Amino acid sequence: MQYFKFFSLFFVLMLIPFYVSSYGRNNFHSKIRLVNDGDDRGVYSLRGSWYPLKKVPYRDVFCDYPQLAAYSFAVPYIILDVLHLKYPNTKYYGCVFSVLMMLFLFATVLLLYNLRGRKKYYSLLMLLPASLYFSYNRLDILPVFLTVLAVSLLLNEKYKLSVFALGLGVLTKWYPLILFPVFLSFYHSRHHKINFNMILVYCLTIILGILPTFFWGGMQAFWAPYQFHLSRDFNQESLFYLLRNIFHNPWGFKTFLILQFCIMPLAMIAKIDSYRSFINWTLLSILFFIFFAKFYSPQWILWVLPFLILRAVKKRDLVPIIILDLVTYLYFPIVFDGYPKLLTGIIFIKTLVLLYFIILILKETFFERTPTISCFRKH
């Protein structure tokens, strides 16, 4: 019966890209991108066009993503090659890309299902509207899968493999970088020593991942994506935008930048010796990073949702998770596309929900001494 449930889930997720690309491509004649948002996949197809054009990524074809992401953008072209389908048809590229992302969503659900000891069905919260929407339309579920895989390997005491997976996540999107101190501290707290092999494997994974860029395009090619992101201004969906009238001077931005990364040094000296504390510190690292970012993206809900699911013990813990997902879907695409005058209001609500999680986890991590029942399976 369990295998039948997994197969049913797999079958449904695989059907979604074909249904949306065939019947929901124009979002059922709505101006709101209800199910299909081809903008980012169009960008991905351009970033991956180095493959059909036989060009060098970063040097000849600009890419604002890390190396593994640049290579993954070419994978749909390779599959279309094998299937003898024409490149110019962006519908084909988008469909193949989304099929791949649905595969990673399915794999993420399985990992969460396996990690949870009780109430394994909580892993199905990854199928909530915003999570499903951004898994289908964005790249982010790939680094999320790699990050959850790294956590699974770590909790199963496969330490070198765990940081290898984490390094691959960094090469897909940079945010898993902030979790490395939590991984090291977890090992140190349990074994009372530094695992230098973890540091070596992690660093080598990232270095070997970026070396081809140096060989093919030099320093200019390597620096291009970082230069792009450092030059980006804030957007109206961030907390920084909501408080922009307070921070007219550059110290405001510097304060936010410090707060973004403040959990990393704290994690290095923290005692993270239980699965629960590990998940809490992981969540704090990601939540602080996105909460104080000058530029906020709605798909970032995928970064935190798996760990909120792992942290949930009782059914009442699910309520704020569901609220965050529904508010995120309302914010984008509903309000963003259809009711822009309400955008500031929905962003304010989204910010309050994130703040709720931050306060809740900070309270448990620093002020509650009573141990909390773990939801993890025993390793």
Other CB atoms within a 10 A radius of the CB of residue 24 amount to: 14
The domain ranges of the chain are: 16-223+230-366
What is the structure's pLDDT at 249? 60
Give the integer Cα–Cα distance in Å for 285 and 262. Answer: 8
**Cα separations in angstroms, 149 against 144, 185, 242:** 8, 18, 35
For residue 173, which amino acid is it? Answer: K
The predicted pLDDT at position 3 comes to 80
Can you list the alpha helix ranges (DSSP code H) found in the chain? 2-23, 38-47, 67-72, 75-82, 90-115, 129-137, 141-155, 159-170, 180-191, 196-230, 239-242, 250-261, 263-269, 275-291, 301-311, 318-329, 343-366
Tell me whether residue 65 is exposed, middle or buried, using C-beta atoms within 10 angstroms of its C-beta: 0 to 12, 13 to 18, 19 or more. Answer: buried
Q: What is the pLDDT of residue 378?
A: 55
Contacts of residue 339, Cβ cutoff 8 Å, sequence gap at least 6: none
Provide the CA 1 distance to its chain's centre, in angstroms.
31
For residues 16 and 84, the model is more confident at: 16
40-88, pLDDT tens digit by residue? 999 999 999 999 999 999 999 999 999 999 999 999 999 999 988 776 5
State the pLDDT confidence band at 231, using cuts at 50, 70 and 90: confident
How is 100-146 classified by DSSP, letter by letter?
Answer: HHHHHHHHHHHHHHHHBSS-GGGGGGGGSHHHHHHHHHSSTHHHHHH
Stretch 84-110: mean pLDDT: 88
For the segment 314-367, what is each residue's pLDDT rounded down to a tens digit? 999 999 999 999 999 999 999 999 999 999 999 999 999 999 999 999 999 988
Q: What is the mean pLDDT of residues 296-304?
A: 97
For the chain, the average pLDDT equals: 91
CB environment 315-337: b (16+ within 10 A), e (fewer): eebbeebeebbebbbbbbbbbbe
At 229 the pLDDT is 76
DSSP state of 147: H
Which of 24-33, 237-246, 327-336, 366-375 reaches the highest mean pLDDT? 327-336
Whether 120 has a pLDDT exceeding 90, the answer reads yes
State yes or no: cis peptide before 371, omega within 30 of 0. no
Q: In angstroms, rounded to a whole number, what is the distance separating the alpha carbons of residues 146 and 163? A: 10
Chain-centroid distance, C-alpha 157: 23
Whole-number Å distance between alpha carbons of 272 and 295? 30
Is pTM beyond 0.85 here? yes
